Amino acid sequence: AAVLSISIPYISHKAQTLPLKRIQANCKVLCPIMNRMICLRGASQKFSSFLTRQTLASTNIHHASWRQCANAFSTASPLSLSAKIKQLREATNAPMMECKKALIDPEVDGDIELAIEHLRRQGSAKASSKVAGREAKDGLVGLCISDDSSCGALVKVASETDFASRSSVFSNLVLAIANKAVEKEEVDADTLTSDETVQKLFEEAILAIRENLSIADVRSLKHTDGSILAGYVHGTTAPNVGTSAAMVELAWINGNKKDIEKAKEAGKKLAMHVVASKPQYLGPSDIPTEILEKEKTILMDQLADSGKPQEVLEKIIKGKLNKFYSEVCLEEQPHVVEEKSPKVSKVLKSLGLEVKRFEAVSIA
């Protein structure tokens, strides 16, 4: 082959003219495979993926310099700016003009990988500053329960519009945050928001969606003494992501474990009931005293002018309180998923189960 010389700028900004064999030797030091690739068609595309920034830093050579070297040996046509913009948009979902600005930035010089980093570092910060403070009323709820049904989490992520919340980018964000919440021992909205991985997820999503996004609610359950967790998501837009969701903890009465699969099915049905009936308390004993006394006072005022004897009034109030319990207490509610709607506690008892706790989250 004819002797070929290429001028390669070093960090010192001095230029040296190196013969082909010297350049190949340098490539061989950086990566043995590179020497075999250097004359292959399309080598310029492979240079960027092989030569990591750390490797280049150790040799004191600019990343752009080696890319220029690769382009010199390649017979493949370089990608046009429009083709690179298309690739960058597919990778980041960022607006077209943001992609173009990133690619033509002197520090990026058309490199796709550097452009992605540039957008994450500067584009998401710019987008976040624009949307900060805007009210986020819409959103989605994500559910994640561990494979052994021992721990689970419900996460509500808020967005500004229904349009944004229906995007696949947003659904993936919600599910990823729910999965992250399950990994933590103690979790709330603040601790989850401060997590480094979650922050990166938000940066990427805000860059693509261009709306104010935030964690609006987090609920978690962990099993106790061999209990199991089950859940249900309503209005699904993606697997385990929807407009509302519930999670329940079931335990075997007297610790006598029976069919686990039947227990999980009963738990899912109960979670469906929770989403539909929206109970506020587990049982009558869980109602705060002030709430119960307030309800009794209201009933007494309603019957004050009835003229009925006191013992009759007490029976009427007891009956009305039982109705109140059936409206707000999960154990006392008629099970809307089961045929003929028997009481929830009765359904579970027939299966040798009892409900210990429940959580529910909705975007409404």
Average pLDDT over residues 10-39: 42
Q: Give the type of residue at 48.
A: S
Beta bridge partners of 143: 154
Mean pLDDT over all residues of the chain? 77
Q: How confident is the model at residue 224 (pLDDT cuts 50, 70, 90)?
A: confident
Average pLDDT over residues 54-61: 44
- The residue among 65, 94, 55 whose CA lies nearest residue 7 is 65
Least reliable range by pLDDT among 18-32, 89-103, 133-147, 275-289: 18-32
Least reliable range by pLDDT among 19-28, 225-234, 236-245, 341-350: 19-28
Q: What residue spans of 78-142 are helical by DSSP H?
A: 81-92, 96-104, 112-118, 124-131
Q: Where are the beta strands (DSSP E) in the chain?
A: 5-9, 15-19, 138-145, 151-159, 214-222, 228-234, 241-242, 244-252, 353-362
- The residue among 39 and 117 whose pLDDT is bigger is 117
C-alpha 278/C-alpha 283 separation (Å) is 13
Buried b (16+ CB within 10 A) or exposed e, 48-80: bebbeeeebeeeebbbbbbbbbbebbbeeeeee
C-alpha 252/C-alpha 50 separation (Å) is 57
Average pLDDT over residues 237-243: 94
Planar angle of CA 99, 104, 110, nearest 5 degrees:
85
- Residues 148-198 have pLDDT tens digits of 888 999 999 998 888 877 889 999 999 999 999 999 888 889 889 889 999
Show the tokens assigned to 63: 């990343």
pTM for this structure? 0.65
pLDDT of amino acid 7: 39
Q: How confident is the model at residue 39 (pLDDT cuts 50, 70, 90)?
A: very low
Planar angle of CA 280, 151, 167, nearest 5 degrees:
80
